[in-house]
Chain A
Amino acid sequence: MSSFFTSSIGKKFLMSVSGLFLVVFLAVHLTANLFILGGPDAFNQSAHFMGTNPIITLMQPILAFGFLLHIIYSLIIQIKNWKSRPVKYKKVDQSETSTWASRNMIWLGIFVFGFLTVHIINFFYVIKFGEMNMITVNGVEMEDSYKLVAGLFTDFGAISYIYSAVYIISFIALGLHLHHAFWSAFQTLGLSNIAWRKRLSVLGDIYAIIVAAGFTIIPLYFLLF
């Protein structure tokens, strides 16, 4: 067992499991976010529910651990992969043999990580530790999360436009990451064969599009309405 986590497949196993865990997290996060389309009260209630629900609170450290595991192992695996070809080719053509996303998972990942850092500072940190306006919805006092989100996307003129653009590009990067990641995770866990590869790829693409489009709707909603 101890040799398992130092073996190539063992390390990839950790990448897959943590990755699939993050896939579930993204679905939950997106669902909570889309309440924004229902207006301030709906979103604030959704945010309040997420912030106070004991299961969600319990999951937070596990989620942080999942992210860390995924990030640390991606670096360990990637560095070994770079070292595995000490002398590079002069001419390589992989345009037809693999997808661009599959060859650039590390860069897509680093991009998404950069966004994640900004995102945590802008939202998570402010909601948890910063000064929030309080409002009362249906008799319950809660943080005005809607104002925070709407503010970032609309209140700062040009900076808000840039922020929105970065936000959208980040989710396109995440979508591309998921396009390869979803199927790949199952393949690494041994849960694929010729027939399932096609099914999982299609499923992964549908999921990637829902995530990328779903999150992109939010800045568009504020920019256009």
Chain B
Amino acid sequence: MSSKTINIKLKVWRQKDATTKGKFENYELSEISTASSFLEMMDVLNEKLVGEGNEPVAFDHDCREGICGMCSLFVNGHAHGPDTLVTTCQLHMRKFKDDETITIEPWRAGGFPVIKDLMVDRNAFEKIMQAGGFVSVSTGGVPDANAIPIPKKDSDEAMDAASCIGCGACVATCKNSSAMLFVSAKVSQLALLPQGKLEASRRAKNMVAVMDELGFGNCSNTGACEMECPKGISLAHIARLNREFLVATIKE
């Protein structure tokens, strides 16, 4: 794809720390290559700010290849920006027009408090994982990898669920700040496999309990999360989580 350059105006949320009140700052950048990624554009902005003796904008990122789930940003009203099935690090500047004003906000959710500027604390997800997002390991010899046959359909579906990178875009985009898509992906990836099935009920119960405690809202099935999820995690996993949770309650 041939690359050209565009001039853009940015409206960026700046916030000194978790307790200070933040506000939007306006910046202008010229000659941004449309072949660059959104985060590279942010690097250009920060270079400029540092060059001028100003504080650079804090934002999360790590792998920059769409697999770690560290990058975030609510860009022009969309989690991970206007493109579908990509993280912000994979979003290209060619998705924006010359002279466009781009509004950049942090994930907004009670469960994800802002740490600084565009960085939010997503430890809530770790706490949910600690409550049940694992398979307990039994002692004994190492089992043969192929000892338990798993139907292709099940392993495919488990793999789809496992592609969740824990970025939090589902929470960020949900009008209720619900974490159900994330939790359902984590519950499904294990519940679908024989090794994880044993603890499926307990897992669903415990993870939902922690999710409810941490300030996330109630899912109302709007489906916006599925549309904004960079990995295309399906709402069908939420149905499975509901099922596991109800079964866990009946079993009690």
Contacts and interface: CB of A to CB of B under 8 A. Distances in A.
Q: How many B residues touch the partner, as a band? A: 35 or more
Give chain B's interface secondary structure class. mixed
Interface stretch (B1-9, B136-144, B216-224): B216-224
Given A85-B177, A90-B24, A189 B246 contact: yes
A9 interface: yes
B58 interface: no
B173 interface: yes
Nearest to B247: A190
Interface in A1-47: 1, 3-4, 7-13
Interface string B1-38: 00000000001000000000000100000000000000
A188 to B, nearest CB: 6
B163 interface: no
Nearest to A9: B245
Contacts of B46: none
Contact of A187 (B176, B177, B208, B238): B238
Interface residues of A, number: 44
Contacts of A187: 221, 235, 238-239, 242
Contacts of B224: 94, 97-98
A216 interface: no
Contact of A12 (B110, B211, B218, B249): B218
A7 B208 contact: yes
Interface string B161-200: 0000000000001011110000000000000000000000
B176 A84 contact: yes
Interface of B: 11, 24, 74, 76-78, 103, 105, 108-111, 114, 173, 175-178, 208-209, 211-212, 215-224, 227-228, 234-236, 238-246, 249, 252
7 contacts: A7-B209, A13-B246, A90-B103, A91-B77, A94-B77, A97-B173, A190-B239
Given A9-B245, A192-B236, 10 more contacts: A1-B252, A8-B208, A81-B177, A91-B105, A98-B222, A98-B227, A188-B242, A190-B245, A193-B236, A193-B239
